[in-house]
Amino acid sequence: MDSNSRVAIYARVSTKDQSCEMQLRDLRSYCASRGFTHVREYVDIGESGAKDSRPELNRLMDHARKRQIDAVLVWRFDRFARSTKHLLLALEEFRSKGIQFISYQENMDTDSPLGQALFCIVAAVAQLERDLIRERVSSGIRNARAAGKQLGRPRRAVDRNEILRLRAEGASLREVALKVGVGYGTVRKRLEVATAGPANPSA
């Protein structure tokens, strides 16, 4: 690529209290060292990497499909892709349009066959790691349930008669929910049950 190449910088952080400045600083420095002058920046803040649909990523892909960029530069490829499949599909689309993909941290690009192969290998290893973590979490949940441990928030006892009393006094459903300390939906369901039959104090 030469200095006239249209380079798209993509950066992402998962939460709104994080900053992309470190990523952007490194990527801007990289562009300066390569002599790129036509640089566009696409930044997603507060967007999970588990999603392949993100506002700025979608805009970048739209510009890529319109051939408005010549290369995509990311700080690390997992900032861009949510999975191996997502990465490979994007790389294939970029390749079909002659767009280069560069990952700063991994020091890889798709300008060579070796770079393409390394991207696939590293992406597969990262995906395997995520799958193993997910399996360990699932296994821990199954073991906890098998041991009789209650998962999640403990259920709160609901006094249906108290709900009926507050409702009879003119309280709104949301006011009842707030006073009883349960969700709006729980109050509504208790009232529906009460109108369908006699109240059961032990419910």
What single string gives the DSSP state of each residue in 24-42? HHHHHHHHHHHT--EEEEE
Please give the average per-residue pLDDT across 118-127, as a whole number. 71
30-74, pLDDT tens digit by residue?
A: 999 988 888 899 999 988 877 778 999 999 999 999 999 999 999
Q: If phi over 0 gives left and psi between -120 and 50 gives alpha, with beta otherwise, what is residue 146?
A: alpha
Residue corresponding to tokens 């191996």: 84
- Neighbouring residues of 148: CB distance < 8 A, sequence distance ≥ 6: none
79-120, pLDDT tens digit by residue?
A: 998 777 788 788 888 888 889 999 998 888 877 777 777 667
**How many residues can be counted in the chain?**
203
pLDDT of residue 11: 94
- Is the model's pLDDT at 159 over the cut of 80? no
| Residue numbers annotated as active site | 14
pLDDT of residue 96: 85
71 and 100 in contact (C-beta within 8 Å)? yes
- Report the C-alpha gap between 166 and 107 in whole angstroms: 65
35 and 4 in contact (C-beta within 8 Å)? no
Compute how many other C-beta atoms are within 10 angstroms of the C-beta atom of residue 136: 10
pLDDT of residue 134: 85
pLDDT of residue 197: 55
Encoding tokens for residue 185?
């939906």
Chain CA centroid to CA 58, Å: 14
Q: If phi over 0 gives left and psi between -120 and 50 gives alpha, with beta otherwise, what is residue 148?
A: left
pLDDT of residue 12: 93
- Report the C-alpha gap between 106 and 79 in whole angstroms: 12
CATH no. of 6-128: 3.40.50.1390
180 and 166 in contact (C-beta within 8 Å)? yes
2-26, pLDDT tens digit by residue?
A: 778 899 999 999 888 889 999 999 9
Helix (H) / strand (E) containing 102: strand 100-103
pLDDT of residue 203: 43
Task: Tell me the pTM.
Answer: 0.57
Q: Can you spell out the DSSP letters for 127-160?
A: HHHHHHHHHHHHHHHHHHHHTTPPPSSPPPP--H
166 and 178 in contact (C-beta within 8 Å)? no
pLDDT of residue 201: 44
- Is the model's pLDDT at 199 over the cut of 60? no
- Neighbouring residues of 26: CB distance < 8 A, sequence distance ≥ 6: 75, 104
